[in-house]
Amino acid sequence: MTSNIYVFNQYFLTFIKTVKKSAKSIKERNSTAREILKKINAFYSSFDNKSTEYIENFKLVFTDFIIDPLIELKDIDEWIETNNNLNILNNISIKNVKTVLKKNITIHNFLLIFHLFKNDDLSEEDIKVIMEKLKGTIDIEDKNIPEKYLKLVNKICEINMEEKTGFSMGDIEDTSIGKLAKEIVEEVNLDKVKESINSEGDILSALSNPDNGIGNLISDVSQKMASKLKNGEIKQDALLKDALSMAGKLPGMNGGGGGGGEPDLGNIMKMMSGLMGGGGGGVPGKARSMQRKMDQKSRMKKKLDEKNKSK
């Protein structure tokens, strides 16, 4: 068995479980959900991780001609309307799956993942690099990914982000927050961040040490933001407006509880209070302590620099 088949099957099983979970939650009031559960229990009561059946069935129905347009599409709704009768699971159409899944973007994501790992020319090293990229590992660069799959992998990463946060890279890049982040990232040394995570063992340990690369990065970002606000390069009201708009799309940050709509300022203030230590100890307290240490270090460095200049 080749590696791509095993990875494909793992994602395929995850998709089955996702559909099944969603169908169970509405089965009492939805006949399509009940029908889906019957078919899943009939066709997937046992699942063979080594079988080529699932990948072969997918290739047969979802040809490159049908799937390739999804790499460029931002909105899958029209594509689903055109192809809703295709069976994405055994005797279960996209139309029926759409009935139980809350978001079409979930279907978009899984289809592209299946489309990627159906390719048997992916080497074990290719798959390893791609998997790390999909997990968001910071030291995996695009140049490590085979050129023919680069656009597809990046599209999956973009959809993953949008599915989890409610907004896409395009949404962020167009905001004052996105533009500020881009400017700052271009000015900081990310190699130090990678080095500090490797030396500390994990990102949480790295965050707790204010003297390492991440500590310096946080301090540098804070100083750059303060400087840009002070000299008028960025406007505080614009940052606040964008932050509230983005927060309104996050789960639990709006009145409806599910992303989208007007932001619930009460929830946002609770979140900010927790981040600033208002929750009474725990991680926020450590973060506040770390910030104090970084501020102290910054002041000492500034005094030392001024002393050296005066000599």
Give the pLDDT score at 237: 67
The mean pLDDT of 268-292, rounded to a whole number, is: 48
Task: Find tokens 């009768």 and name the residue.
Answer: 85
Lowest pLDDT segment from 16-20, 116-120, 134-138:
134-138
The mean pLDDT of 209-230, rounded to a whole number, is: 60
**Rounded to the nearest 5°, which phi and psi values hold at 211?**
-95, -5
Percent of the chain with pLDDT over 90: 33
Give the pLDDT score at 110: 94
Please write the tens of the pLDDT for every residue from 285-311.
Answer: 444 555 566 667 667 767 777 777 666
Please write the tens of the pLDDT for every residue from 169-213.
Answer: 555 555 555 666 666 556 555 565 555 555 545 444 544 455 555
- In the chain, where does DSSP find H-type helix? 3-26, 31-43, 53-61, 64-67, 77-83, 94-100, 104-117, 124-135, 147-165, 169-173, 176-187, 190-200, 203-208, 213-230, 236-247, 265-275, 283-310
The mean pLDDT of 261-271, rounded to a whole number, is: 51
Q: How confident is the model at residue 133 (pLDDT cuts 50, 70, 90)?
A: confident
Give the pLDDT score at 259: 47
Please write the tens of the pLDDT for every residue from 23-41.
Answer: 999 999 999 999 999 999 9
Please write the tens of the pLDDT for every residue from 61-88.
Answer: 999 999 999 998 877 899 999 999 999 9
Six token digits for residue 166: 């409610």
Q: How many CA atoms within 13 Å lie on the side-chain side of 98?
A: 18
Torsion of CA 161, 162, 165, 166, to 10 degrees: 180
- What per-residue string of b and e applies to 56-69 under the rule 16 or more CB within 10 Å gives b? eebbeebeeeebee
Give which of 88, 4, 10, 14 is closest to 49, Cα–Cα. 10
Q: How confident is the model at residue 13 (pLDDT cuts 50, 70, 90)?
A: very high
Q: What is the mean pLDDT of the chain?
A: 74
Task: Find tokens 């019957």 and name the residue.
Answer: 38
Q: Is residue 44 classed as helix, strand or coil in its secondary structure?
A: coil
Q: CA torsion sign, 167 to 168 to 169 to 172? A: negative
Give the pLDDT score at 257: 46
Cα 283 to its chain centre, rounded Å, is 23
Cα 218 to its chain centre, rounded Å, is 21
Contact 4, 123 (CB under 8 A): no
Q: How confident is the model at residue 217 (pLDDT cuts 50, 70, 90)?
A: low
Paired with 93 in beta bridges are: 87
Q: How confident is the model at residue 277 (pLDDT cuts 50, 70, 90)?
A: very low
Please write the tens of the pLDDT for every residue from 47-62.
Answer: 999 999 999 999 999 9
**Rounded to the nearest 5°, which phi and psi values hold at 284?**
-55, -40
Give the pLDDT score at 234: 67
Six token digits for residue 115: 């489309």
Percent of the chain with pLDDT over 70: 54
